[in-house]
Amino acid sequence: MAERRRERPASPVFETERADVDRADQILGRIEPRVFTPPMRELTPETSYGFDVIAFARDVLNRPLDPWQEFVVIHACELLEDGRPRFRKVLVIVSRQQGKTELGVVLTLYWLFIEQVALVLGTSTKLAYAVESWEKALAHAQRVPELADDIPPRGGIRRTNGETMLKLSTGSRYLVAASNPEGGRSLTIDRLILDELRQHLDYSAWDAAVPATDAVPDAQIWCLTNAGSDRSIVLNDLQDAATSFIETGKGDERLGLFEYSAPLGSSPLDLSALVQAAPNLGRRNDVDALLGDARRAVAKGGDLLNGFLTERMCIRVRRDVPPVWPAETWEHCRDPRSRRAGAAVLAVDVSPDRAYAAVSMAALNADGLPMGQVIRHGPGVAWMIPDIGKMVRDRSKSILP
């Protein structure tokens, strides 16, 4: 397939002007992200492989990218002087139903058929979602004769024994996995797609997949998501680090951020804010329908409003849960003079959505009264087993005296 590399097109003209918000039927989403990592140099067909991706989508797949997708691939696929991608990690934040999953599918096919990388791994919060993207990619390839010819009739497509794999005659493979502590382990990954990063509530899935790219000098990791809450620690950490680099020039220069979001504090009824989070608004997405949802969210408030801010406006929302016991109640029960007199027991508690967990210890004191203390609490559950094991092994360092 190497000979299929086509002449790259000239840089497209992007619609970066402010949207006319006086009439809903004149609204067009903003193509340029509100926040993005600026390029190091002029982006041309020689300095970004994104131009190749655009041509591949248009001329080979017959599925032209949307204007915002073109902007992202040109900027996110910037090349270093030695030919490697400038960004080792790419974070794309965009509202729901804008085409971020389709962008991942097109990139995957480009990497497989044009770049011919050894392995592309696609992950999502549920294996079924990752498989759905795999099926879309396969369907796109099978509709193009010159791509279908590279899929061997025997062994090219596998959907058995819990494995979903596309293997080309060149040896390139496309696998999928769920975002969990096992997804990506024991593999060497050239291109990694982490879909719905907002659902990564701890680093267990990240730690399984991302280090599998370490041995590949030109590896690239794409994180596709809409905004999260305070529980989305992986997304929030990456977003904060990338924003800090944009503002200060210090930090991880190989982390790229392309954030389509409304400014913090924007009203859901503000069209000038909505167009910044939804680049396909007025193109593929209905403006009146979105405004209808916005009005209901504002009128109802609560979870409905928080959901709209997060999913449709890409504004990070804190989802604090009121405590069962007020802080002053716990303070009233505190007794720093109490000492354990007998054996202690451990207790664990996990929130229903597995977003938070806690480990506590309890025992009887010298007066025969129960006493207890929270030893550790934190997001996710991946930390619990190793920590509890260490507590059991090292009893002499118990928190309770």
Model confidence pLDDT, tens digit, residues 121-134: 999 988 888 899 99
Residue range 375-396: mean pLDDT, rounded: 68
Give a yes or no: residue 294 inside a domain.
no
Q: In what order do the strands lie in the sheet with 157-160?
A: 35-36, 255-259, 89-93, 220-225, 191-195, 119-124, 173-178, 163-167, 157-160
- The answer, yes or no, to whether residue 379 has pLDDT greater than 70, is no
State residue 172's pLDDT score: 95
Q: With pLDDT > 90 as the criterion, what percentage of the chain qualifies?
A: 50
153 and 252, same structural domain?
yes
Give a yes or no: residue 199 inside a domain.
yes
Neighbours of 305 (CB within 10 A): 17
Maximum average pLDDT range among 247-261, 264-278, 283-297 = 247-261
State residue 2's pLDDT score: 39
Query: How do residues 178-211 score in pLDDT, each as one tens digit?
Result: 888 888 888 999 999 999 988 888 899 899 999 9
What confidence category does residue 38 fall into, taking pLDDT thresholds of 50, 70 and 90? very high
- The answer, yes or no, to whether residue 324 has pLDDT greater than 70, is no
Mean pLDDT of the chain: 84
State residue 347's pLDDT score: 85
64 and 207, same structural domain?
yes
249 and 105, same structural domain?
yes
State residue 55's pLDDT score: 96
Report which of residues 365 and 156 the model is more confident about.
156
60 and 176, same structural domain?
yes
Give a yes or no: residue 302 inside a domain.
no
State residue 322's pLDDT score: 54
Give a yes or no: residue 316 inside a domain.
no
Question: Considering the entire predicted model, what is its pTM?
Answer: 0.75
370 and 224, same structural domain?
no
Give a yes or no: residue 218 inside a domain.
yes
State residue 180's pLDDT score: 84
- The answer, yes or no, to whether residue 361 has pLDDT greater than 70, is yes
For the domain that residue 38 is a member of, what is the CATH number? Answer: 3.40.50
* 100-110 helix and 67-76 helix, angle to the nearest 10 degrees: 50
346 and 252, same structural domain?
no
235 and 345, same structural domain?
no
Give a yes or no: residue 272 inside a domain.
no
The number of domains in the chain is: 2
State residue 400's pLDDT score: 46
Domain boundary among 259, 274, 300: 259
Which of 88-102, 221-235, 292-306, 386-400 has the lowest average pLDDT?
386-400
State residue 1's pLDDT score: 44
State residue 396's pLDDT score: 47
Domain boundary among 244, 259, 274: 259
27 and 170, same structural domain?
yes
- The answer, yes or no, to whether residue 234 has pLDDT greater than 60, is yes
Query: How do residues 43-63 score in pLDDT, each as one tens digit?
Result: 999 999 999 999 999 999 999
| Burial class, 160, CB count within 10 angstroms (exposed 0-12 / middle 13-18 / buried 19+) | exposed
372 and 241, same structural domain?
no
List, in order, residues 6 or more apart from 130 with CB less than 8 Å away: 122, 123, 124, 176, 177, 178, 195
Which of 41-55, 154-168, 192-206, 361-375 has the lowest average pLDDT?
361-375
244 and 99, same structural domain?
yes
Give a yes or no: residue 128 inside a domain.
yes
Amino acid identity, position 152: P
344 and 252, same structural domain?
no
343 and 249, same structural domain?
no
Q: Which domain holds residue 359?
A: 338-397
Give a yes or no: residue 138 inside a domain.
yes
Sign of the Cα torsion 39, 45, 48, 52 reads positive
Domain boundary among 259, 285, 301: 259
